[in-house]
Amino acid sequence: MADVGDNPMEFNIKEEMKKEHLITGGTFACSGCNPVLGIRLTLIALGKNTIMINSSGCMTLTATWPFTPYKIPWVHGAIENGGSVAAGILMGLKAQKKDKNTNIVVYAGDGATYDIGLQALSGMVYRKEKIIYVCYNNCQFANTGHQASSATEKYARTSTTPPPIGNPLPRKNMAKMMALNGADYCATACTAFPFDFIKKIRKAATMKGSSFIDLLAPCEPGWLVQPWETLKAGKLMVETGMWPLYEIENKKITINYKPKMLPVVKALQMQGRFKHLTEPQVTEIQLTVVKEWEMITKGRFWEAEEY
Amino acid sequence: MIEIIDGNASAAWGARRAKAQCVPCFPITPTTEIIETIAAWKAKGEFQGEFVQLESEHSAASAAFGASITGARVFTATSSQGLLLMHELLPIISGCRTPMVLTTVSRCLSAPIGLWPDHNDTLAMRDAGWIMLICETNQEVLDSVIMGYKISENKKILLPVIVNMDGFVHSYTRTEVDIPEQKMIDNFLPHPELEIKLDVKKPMTLGIPAMGLDYMKYRAQLHRAMLDSFEVVETVQKEWAKLTKRKYDFVEEYKLKGAKAAIVMIGANTTIAKAAVDMMRKKGKKVGLLRIRLFRPFPEKQIKKALEKLKDIAVVDQNICPGMGGILYPEIKMALSGCKAKITNYIHGLGGNFVAEQDYIDILNDVVKNKKQERKWQM
């Protein structure tokens, strides 16, 4: 059992929010940055007996010499090895009998998770290492200037998938892949639903093996939304059904939030990265969402392609 | 106790005697036997450390980094393409001033793919900020792994160490090796508490970005630590000599007294070259040999002191930097700048190409006869 108390689901978030934050303000993050909010929520959920491993990306720049916002041990290795650096840390703690009551959490971007770091993540999950892996998913390689990753949605504009076509490929589904890879617990989450995310992190901390949480974290310059609208953008992604919130335990899926199923155009029109979409493309996205939502709610989750 | 073991087993015994706490690893020929040996010990309960096989050398190096920054003593090993895959992590490990010992079992690089030894893999790591010890015998491999931890964990240094042996020639060749008693090593090698590590009681932020001049300062400190390590390596080697009567130096001078021509080289083949020197000495030829043992930091002064009075020097490289020549050659020339010696480069033994005493005799005859300073291929 990691350090989340005897009954991890009994957790007074309001009380916890009043405590000292384990990541301070004043980082280099953009205004309206959701990934950095994700770190705050992760640390609210896990508390101070936590070691955080970062894979190269935007969040690497949160600590720049000689400043650090972290009040927990934090390390950055390289981009593709979040899973294996974490495995090494667990190995080192085990060897010194210090692994009890310590949460090990990887906080890596979608490029570092879906693409270049997939091997290290898969190895970590395969070996059932007791590590929580959080992917802060802003649907692109944001730190290098918003290039497409395999988490980028179909037709989205990135600097390597410019309009008029945008990204020709649909995204991978990492939570599903990791569930089949052998993770004890997999979930999707969104920064716009912080309580849901905190609950999932705390649940993950109780697992014996690996857990994977795919956290949709809107990015102001990447999604081309206003800094004050990033949370709204995330909320609309969930409410339109484009980012369903669910968890998978022993291949059993639980849908944690029933979206209002607003028309997808509501989410798409506020994001500059979808501005170039034609009407047939919007319709295609809408039809896919409706079809896949139906599949996951009617027991055909493993057949759905994107969700 | 004296045992007949090969180089791989020697390295494994080094890790066992040093009580390595974590062994993250990935198999590759000709290294695999090292990790197999440790795995077998672990299964029998003779090895107390954590043993984890990862999914690539890159991950093995990453896990080695992770384990070491928690304060654990880490050992791993690799070769050739595996070392190149680890390469990305090596400057990260040295940049974070993370102590550990990595045994590299030299094997030629692909393509064409080969299993046999040359030094292109290990020498490619020369700028990674690791202390590099290149061994000649199995005994030296075992000794260097143990000494490696003492050097690496020194508070003034905190740099990782590569201990190199040659594939096949070391790794699969059994020789007499003295395995020191555990008690002696426990006294020689206490495990110091690291000041910089990941600890929830004393949070630190590691591996962060540093911009502009701050970056320069970090690199300068790394360089400084490397230069400071000369002193530490010397002290540790002296202490080891007192304990075991086995003396090691930065460079090994072989019959250089009164020599006019000499071979400069590294690695296992030195033993064959020494035999060639003996044969020529018997015939009255004034020849000798210099083996570089400490390759990084580079012991310029000792090299110059050993070679400055010679007339003809043959730098024999078992590696090739295409478009330039041997890798040792320019380094030796740099160390000997201002000396009058004629320095010639010979490339031999690539991909484990067979070499015998006669090859070194030919090289020594050639370097004396030849009037021009040049680069040659000995095939």
Looking only at the bridges linking them, the beta strands covering A211-216 and A132-137 are: parallel
Closest partner residue to A84 (CB to CB) among B54, B200, B214 is B54
Calpha distance B72→B64 (Å, rounded): 9
Angle of helix B57-68 relative to helix A118-126, nearest 10 degrees, comes to 70
Nearest CA in chain A to B55: A123
Calpha distance B180→B119 (Å, rounded): 29
pLDDT at residue A99 is higher than 80: yes
Q: Is residue B198 domain-shared with residue B255, that is, in the same domain?
A: no
Nearest CA in chain B to A75: B206
Calpha distance B331→B251 (Å, rounded): 14
Q: B214, B187, B296, B308: which is closest to B256 by C-alpha?
A: B308
Q: Is A46 helix (H, G, I), strand (E, B) or coil?
A: helix
pLDDT at residue A210 is higher than 60: yes
Sign, CA torsion B216/B218/B219/B224:
positive
Residues of chain A with C-beta less than 8 angstroms from the C-beta of B221: none
* pLDDT value for A12: 81
For residues A24-30, average pLDDT: 92
For residues B184-202, average pLDDT: 95
Within a domain: A6? no
With an 8 Å Cβ cutoff, are A88 and B62 in contact? yes
Q: Is residue B155 domain-shared with residue B238, that is, in the same domain?
A: yes
What CATH number has the domain bearing residue B60?
A: 3.40.50.970
Nearest CA in chain A to B200: A49
With an 8 Å Cβ cutoff, are A120 and B24 in contact? no
Closest partner residue to B198 (CB to CB) among A64, A75, A78 is A75
Provide the token pair at B341. Answer: 């010696």
| Domain final residue, candidates B192, B220, B244 | B244
With an 8 Å Cβ cutoff, are A86 and B66 in contact? yes
Q: Is residue B278 domain-shared with residue B353, that is, in the same domain?
A: yes
With an 8 Å Cβ cutoff, are A92 and B22 in contact? yes
Calpha distance A63→A70 (Å, rounded): 8
For residues B325-347, average pLDDT: 94
Q: Give the pLDDT confidence of B109-159 residue by residue, as tens digits.
A: 999 999 999 999 999 999 999 999 999 999 999 999 999 999 999 999 999
Q: How many domains does chain A have?
A: 1
Residues of chain A with C-beta less than 8 angstroms from the C-beta of B200: 48-51, 72-73, 102
* Strands in chain A per DSSP E: 50-54, 74-76, 103-109, 132-137, 185-190, 211-216, 246-249, 252-255
pLDDT at residue A161 is higher than 60: yes
| Domain final residue, candidates B244, B270, B285 | B244
Cis peptide before A35 (omega within 30 of 0): no
Measured at the alpha carbon of residue A53, what is the angle toward residues B74 and A13, in degrees to the nearest 5?
Answer: 135
Provide the token pair at A41. Answer: 């929520």
Within a domain: A5? no
Residue environment code for A218-227, b if the CB has 16+ CB neighbours within 10 A, otherwise e: bbbbbbbbee
Residue A23 is given by DSSP the state: B
Tell me the backbone φ, ψ of residue B368, rounded to 5 degrees.
-75, -40
Q: Is residue B307 domain-shared with residue B221, that is, in the same domain?
A: no
Q: A119, A113, A147: which is closest to A133 by C-alpha?
A: A113
Closest partner residue to B63 (CB to CB) among A64, A84, A102 is A84
With an 8 Å Cβ cutoff, are B58 and A71 in contact? no
Instruction: Tell me the shortest Cα–Cα distance from A97 to chain B, in angstroms.
Output: 11
Q: Mind giving me the DSSP string for B72-89?
A: --BEEEE-HHHHHHHTTH
Within a domain: A7? no
With an 8 Å Cβ cutoff, are B72 and A96 in contact? yes
**C-alpha torsion A89→A95→A98→A103, nearest 10:** 30
Q: Is residue B361 domain-shared with residue B273, that is, in the same domain?
A: yes
Q: Give the pLDDT confidence of B308-317 residue by residue, as tens digits.
A: 999 999 999 9
With an 8 Å Cβ cutoff, are A123 and B208 in contact? no
Closest partner residue to A81 (CB to CB) among B58, B68, B199 is B58
pLDDT at residue A306 is higher than 80: no
Residues of chain B with C-beta less than 8 angstroms from the C-beta of A77: 62, 65-66, 89, 92, 207
Sign, CA torsion B215/B216/B219/B221:
negative
With an 8 Å Cβ cutoff, are A68 and B208 in contact? yes
Task: Give yes or no for B70 touching A (CB within 8 A).
Answer: yes
Work out how many CB contacts closer than 8 A connect A with B: 151
Calpha distance A249→B204 (Å, rounded): 34
Residues of chain B with C-beta less than 8 angstroms from the C-beta of A76: 206-208
Task: Give yes or no for B258 touching A (CB within 8 A).
Answer: no
Q: How many domains does chain B have?
A: 2
Calpha distance B320→A10 (Å, rounded): 65
Provide the token pair at B193. Answer: 């508490």
Task: Identify the burial level of A136 via C-beta atoms within 10 angstroms of its C-beta, where 0-12 means exposed, 13-18 middle and 19 or more buried.
Answer: buried
Q: Is residue B237 domain-shared with residue B105, that is, in the same domain?
A: yes
Tell the residue number behind the tokens 């083949």, with chain if given: B269
Q: What percent of chain A has pLDDT over 70?
A: 97
With an 8 Å Cβ cutoff, are B70 and A92 in contact? yes
ipTM of model: 0.95
In 10 A of CB B114, how many CB atoms? 17
- Taking all residues of chain A, what is their mean pLDDT, rounded to a whole number? 94
* pLDDT value for A1: 41
With an 8 Å Cβ cutoff, are B203 and A71 in contact? yes
Residue B350: pLDDT band with limits 50, 70, 90? very high
Question: Among B51, B59, B73, which would you mutate to test the A interface (most chain A Cβ atoms within 10 Å of its Cβ)?
Answer: B59
Q: Is residue B281 domain-shared with residue B352, that is, in the same domain?
A: yes
Residue A10: pLDDT band with limits 50, 70, 90? confident
Task: Identify the burial level of A262 via C-beta atoms within 10 angstroms of its C-beta, where 0-12 means exposed, 13-18 middle and 19 or more buried.
Answer: middle
Closest partner residue to B209 (CB to CB) among A61, A84, A122 is A61
Task: Give yes or no for B60 touching A (CB within 8 A).
Answer: yes
Q: Is B196 helix (H, G, I), strand (E, B) or coil?
A: coil
Provide the token pair at B115. Answer: 């299993």
Q: Mind giving me the DSSP string for B108-150?
A: PPSSS---S--THHHHTTTTSS-EEEE-SSHHHHHHHHHHHHH
Task: Give yes or no for B68 touching A (CB within 8 A).
Answer: yes
Q: Give the pLDDT confidence of A220-237 residue by residue, as tens digits.
A: 999 999 999 999 999 999
Taking a C-beta distance cutoff of 8 angstroms, is the pair B108, B58 a contact? no
Tell me the backbone φ, ψ of residue B34, rounded to 5 degrees.
-60, -50
Q: Give the pLDDT confidence of B67-119 residue by residue, as tens digits.
A: 999 999 999 999 999 999 999 999 999 999 999 999 999 999 999 999 999 99
Within a domain: A1? no
Tell me the backbone φ, ψ of residue A190, rounded to 5 degrees.
-145, 140
| Domain final residue, candidates B217, B244, B271 | B244
* pLDDT value for A6: 64
Measured at the alpha carbon of residue B312, what is the angle toward residues B307 and B315, in degrees to the nearest 5?
Answer: 75
Q: Is residue B155 domain-shared with residue B260, that is, in the same domain?
A: no
Give Cα separations from B119 to A238, B265, B271, B328, B351 (angstroms): 56, 11, 16, 10, 9
Entry pTM: 0.96
Q: Is residue B12 domain-shared with residue B34, that is, in the same domain?
A: yes
Nearest CA in chain B to A72: B203
Nearest CA in chain B to A119: B55
Question: Among B26, B42, B51, B54, which would you mutate to test the A interface (most chain A Cβ atoms within 10 Å of its Cβ)?
Answer: B54
What CATH number has the domain bearing residue A130?
A: 3.40.50.970
For residues A119-128, average pLDDT: 98
* pLDDT value for A257: 96
Taking a C-beta distance cutoff of 8 angstroms, is the pair A254, A187 a contact? no
Calpha distance A28→A167 (Å, rounded): 29
With an 8 Å Cβ cutoff, are B209 and A63 in contact? yes
Within a domain: A4? no
Provide the token pair at B88. Answer: 């990305």
Tell me which residue range forms the domain holding A70: 13-303
Task: Give yes or no for B86 touching A (CB within 8 A).
Answer: no
* pLDDT value for A15: 82
Residues of chain A with C-beta less than 8 angstroms from the C-beta of B212: none
Rg from Cα positions in chain B: 20
Closest partner residue to A73 (CB to CB) among B62, B68, B200 is B200
For residues A67-86, average pLDDT: 97
Tell me which residue range forms the domain holding B347: 251-377
Tell the residue number behind the tokens 């484990």, with chain if given: B352
With an 8 Å Cβ cutoff, are A95 and B24 in contact? no
Calpha distance B241→A129 (Å, rounded): 43
Nearest CA in chain A to B191: A96
Residues of chain A with C-beta less than 8 angstroms from the C-beta of B21: 92, 95-96
Task: Identify the burial level of B266 via C-beta atoms within 10 angstroms of its C-beta, where 0-12 means exposed, 13-18 middle and 19 or more buried.
Answer: buried
- Taking all residues of chain B, what is their mean pLDDT, rounded to a whole number? 96
Rg from Cα positions in chain A: 18
Q: Is residue B77 domain-shared with residue B154, that is, in the same domain?
A: yes
* pLDDT value for A4: 66
Q: Is residue B219 domain-shared with residue B304, that is, in the same domain?
A: no
Residues of chain A with C-beta less than 8 angstroms from the C-beta of B67: 88-89, 91-92, 95
* pLDDT value for B379: 54
Q: Give the pLDDT confidence of A34-71 residue by residue, as tens digits.
A: 999 999 999 999 999 999 999 999 999 999 999 999 99
Task: Give yes or no for B98 touching A (CB within 8 A).
Answer: no
In 10 A of CB B227, how many CB atoms? 10
Q: Is residue B31 domain-shared with residue B144, that is, in the same domain?
A: yes
With an 8 Å Cβ cutoff, are B50 and A95 in contact? yes
Q: Is A173 helix (H, G, I), strand (E, B) or coil?
A: coil
Closest partner residue to A73 (CB to CB) among B74, B89, B204 is B204
Neighbouring C-alpha atoms within 13 Å toward the C-beta of A197: 25
Residue A14: pLDDT band with limits 50, 70, 90? confident
Calpha distance B41→B51 (Å, rounded): 10
Calpha distance A225→A207 (Å, rounded): 37
Tell me the backbone φ, ψ of residue A44, rounded to 5 degrees.
-60, -40
Task: Give yes or no for B36 touching A (CB within 8 A).
Answer: no
Instruction: Tell me the shortest Cα–Cα distance from B74 to chain A, in angstroms.
Output: 8
In 10 A of CB A192, how many CB atoms? 23
pLDDT at residue A95 is higher than 90: yes
